[in-house]
Amino acid sequence: MYCVKKVTDDLIWVGANDRRLAMFEGVYSVPDGVSYNSYLLMDEKTVLFDTVDKAVRHRFMENIAEVLGKRKLDYLLVQHMEPDHSAVIEELAVKYPEMKIVCNSATLTFIKQYNNFDIDSRVIIVNEKETLNTGKHTLHFVMAPMVHWPEVMVVYDSTDKTLFSADAFGCFGALNGALFADEVNFDKDYMDESRRYYANIVGKYGTQVRTLMEKASALEIERICPLHGFVWRKNIPNIVAKYVLWSHYTPEEYGVMIAYASVYGNTENAAEILACRLRDNGIKTVMYDVSVTPSSEIVAAAFRWSHLVFASTTYNAGIFISMEALISDLVAHNLQSRTVAIIENGTWAPTSGRLIREKLQQCTNLNIIDNTLRIKSGLKANQVSEIAAMADAILSTFPKPVSVPDNPAVGTVNPAALRKLSYGLFVLTAQDGNKDNGCIINTAAQITESPMRIAVTVNKANYTCEMIGKTGQFNVSILDTSVPFRIFEQFGFRSGRESDKFAGCGYDTRTANGIRYLPKHTNGVLSAKVVESVDCGTHRMFIADVMQASVLSQEPSVTYQYYFDHIKPKPQIPEKHKQEFVCKICGYIYEGSALPDGYVCPLCKHGVEDFEPV
């Protein structure tokens, strides 16, 4: 039975999923399966974008037959000749004898190498910037050699602003009923697999990916249709931003990835102690046993983290087998721009450190810390200082001081605190006499550098707004990604007029102006004096000079998106009679059969008129 999904009114996904494949390309485990995407455009001419792997050819042929109905297939557009996308070309040619094959000349060579049917009589060769008009749609051909094979081209449909991106923007994992990335929690559930796909499939070709990105930047793109994984129609800048980082070999995060190979646990022991010392200094660490974790996962992690430590025992006078394979893999994937430290072990002739160093020297722009830590069988007490020295050497390469928070009780201005501001969530606090109060806001921005001035916007119905209007002073605690939902309950879901928002919080931390701030889950705090206020209807904007700015941690600021994806509890599966209403202003979801009279959004304070049924 066919299984197809609509991308747009006239573009249909006709691909298929494979959840039985153990190793993609024979080398990458795909525990969550993989999708082979193919798209059928039903214009005046019908156009199929690529085919699928032979494992799913039966479903694919059913899908095409269903969507075409009585129509013929006019064009097969071949973007990429790797067999996971091209295994069904010959079968299609037999079933649809009038079908023309549209491809570039490099693709034609590969089609002939993989197939044995008459291709020349049906091929249409296209070149960069040429177009194909199919009726309503105009398809533009954009060559993308080495993303991932030399013949690759992508196609831009200027009518619907859709980029058919071939392997670019692909992801491991079968599509479990969802077709669009915005139908799932992509950052939480799929970003790791997206990175693993990128690093292992096209990671070697950063230069070529950047060239494609430059070409794509000239296009207005509303939709990306890759050959694996989800279709993108929302949040496209987010995945593009990842591709910018990955293709430049720029780490996504500061932190240390430690990969170790340990036969009897002694090398692992040294790696663990190093990880502890780094954590003690506020550095994020992740660890992988290379004998257990597949190389593709560690390669992906190496693309993520800024610092890498390789700890390996010596084996057969060389590097331990799985570590040697990992290092070769990293070199082959062109890893660049990382700081690296090495630990070697050996009972009689340790050589693994020197050999790892020699191999990694093939990579571009690696900063390999000079001193290799040498263990003879097991770490000795007098070597603890060597571990500490290695931790210090790694720490010294981090770009900014770690875990040295400012003291907000002292009225100094650290400009770095202003750089924590984002379209995020903040606790705005004020004091009137002996009364402390605070509320959640989502708008706080720096507006000028000199004088250092910020603007915050707060609902006029909030008690905090009234207090600031009266006293002209406030604090902004910039929430970070460690913030739990209870903070939003504490400051967001009730009024300070009737309750003490700080009751039972267990701290009484104040900046130099005497106003309270949140010492935890906060990466920065600003104290400000109002210079002007602007009536914005439901809200009031306070423009204020920054009197004090303190950095409290290096945790990333929580963004509005992060809040919805990771902090706000997901609604339970609604009972049948239940209804949900979403606040059109801030996205807050109210669950219940009807909105109560006079209900206001606990986050943004808008009334029932700004809610709509989900």
21 or 468: CB nearest ligand FEO? 21
- Is 304 a residue that touches ligand FEO (CB under 6 A)? no
Instruction: Please select the residue that binds ligand FEO; options are 30, 88, 174, 227, rule is CB under 6 A.
Output: 227
Burial of 307 (0-12, 13-18, 19+ CB in 10 A): buried
Alpha-carbon distance 198 to 191, whole Å? 10
User: What residues between 78 and 117 interact with ligand FEO by CB under 6 A?
Assistant: 80, 82, 84-85
Nearest distance, CB of residue 544 and ligand FEO, angstroms: 53
246 or 611: CB nearest ligand FEO? 246
- 275 φ, ψ (degrees, to nearest 5): -60, -40
Say if CB 311 and CB 273 are below 8 A apart: no
Q: Which residue is nearest to ligand FEO (CB)?
A: 82
Nearest distance, CB of residue 148 and ligand FEO, angstroms: 4
Q: How far is residue 38 from each of residues 88, 108, 124, 176, measured CA to CA in Å?
A: 11, 19, 20, 16
Nearest distance, CB of residue 128 and ligand FEO, angstroms: 20
Nearest distance, CB of residue 24 and ligand FEO, angstroms: 8
18 or 43: CB nearest ligand FEO? 18
**Nearest in space to 486 (alpha carbons), one of 370, 568, 601, 603:** 568
154 or 467: CB nearest ligand FEO? 154
Nearest distance, CB of residue 25 and ligand FEO, angstroms: 8
Say if CB 263 and CB 315 are below 8 A apart: yes
User: What residues between 32 and 71 interact with ligand FEO by CB under 6 A?
Assistant: none
41 or 87: CB nearest ligand FEO? 87
Size of the site for ligand FEO (CB under 6 A): 8
Nearest distance, CB of residue 149 and ligand FEO, angstroms: 6
User: What residues between 141 and 160 interact with ligand FEO by CB under 6 A?
Assistant: 148
Q: How far is residue 502 from each of residues 426, 467, 469, 506, 517, measured CA to CA in Å?
A: 15, 16, 21, 8, 10
Nearest distance, CB of residue 185 and ligand FEO, angstroms: 24
34 or 526: CB nearest ligand FEO? 34
45 or 195: CB nearest ligand FEO? 195
Find the part of the chain contacting ligand FEO (CB under 6 A) among 76-84, 334-342, 533-541, 571-579. Answer: 76-84
Nearest distance, CB of residue 54 and ligand FEO, angstroms: 13
Nearest distance, CB of residue 84 and ligand FEO, angstroms: 4
Buried residues in 119-155 as b, exposed as e (16+ CB within 10 A): beebbeebeeeeebebeebebbbbbbbbbbbebbbbb
* Site track for ligand FEO across 497-516, x = CB under 6 A: --------------------
- Is 167 a residue that touches ligand FEO (CB under 6 A)? yes
Alpha-carbon distance 476 to 426, whole Å? 6
Alpha-carbon distance 564 to 481, whole Å? 12
Nearest distance, CB of residue 170 and ligand FEO, angstroms: 7
43 or 84: CB nearest ligand FEO? 84
Q: Tokens at residue 178, please?
A: 């969802």
43 or 193: CB nearest ligand FEO? 193
Beta strands in 355-467 (DSSP E): 367-368, 373-375, 426-432, 435-441, 444-448, 453-459
Alpha-carbon distance 170 to 195, whole Å? 9
Find the part of the chain contacting ligand FEO (CB under 6 A) among 77-85, 103-111, 509-517, 532-540. Answer: 77-85
51 or 553: CB nearest ligand FEO? 51
Nearest distance, CB of residue 342 and ligand FEO, angstroms: 33
Nearest distance, CB of residue 82 and ligand FEO, angstroms: 4
Nearest distance, CB of residue 40 and ligand FEO, angstroms: 18
Say if CB 174 and CB 35 are below 8 A apart: yes
Sign of CA dihedral 84, 90, 96, 100: positive
* Site track for ligand FEO across 328-357, x = CB under 6 A: ------------------------------
DSSP state of 190: T
- Strand ranges across the sheet with 138-143: 131-133, 138-143, 153-157, 162-166, 223-226
Q: Token pair 């050996």 is at which residue?
A: 346
DSSP 133-180: E-SS-EEEEEE-TTSSSTT-EEEEETTTTEEEEETTT--SB---S--B
200 or 550: CB nearest ligand FEO? 200
148 or 333: CB nearest ligand FEO? 148
- Residues in Cβ contact with 400 at an 8 Å cutoff, skipping those fewer than 6 apart: 416, 554
SS3 at position 183? helix
Residues β-bridged to residue 312: 261, 344
84 or 466: CB nearest ligand FEO? 84
User: What residues between 253 and 292 interact with ligand FEO by CB under 6 A?
Assistant: none
Nearest distance, CB of residue 213 and ligand FEO, angstroms: 17
30 or 108: CB nearest ligand FEO? 30
Rounded to 5°, angle at Cα 308 from 305 and 310: 145
**Nearest in space to 238 (alpha carbons), one of 197, 275, 190, 280:** 190
- Is 547 a residue that touches ligand FEO (CB under 6 A)? no
Alpha-carbon distance 305 to 200, whole Å? 15
- Is 228 a residue that touches ligand FEO (CB under 6 A)? yes
Do you find a cis peptide bond into 596, omega within 30 degrees of 0? no
* Chain contacts with ligand FEO (rule: CB under 6 A): 80, 82, 84-85, 148, 167, 227-228
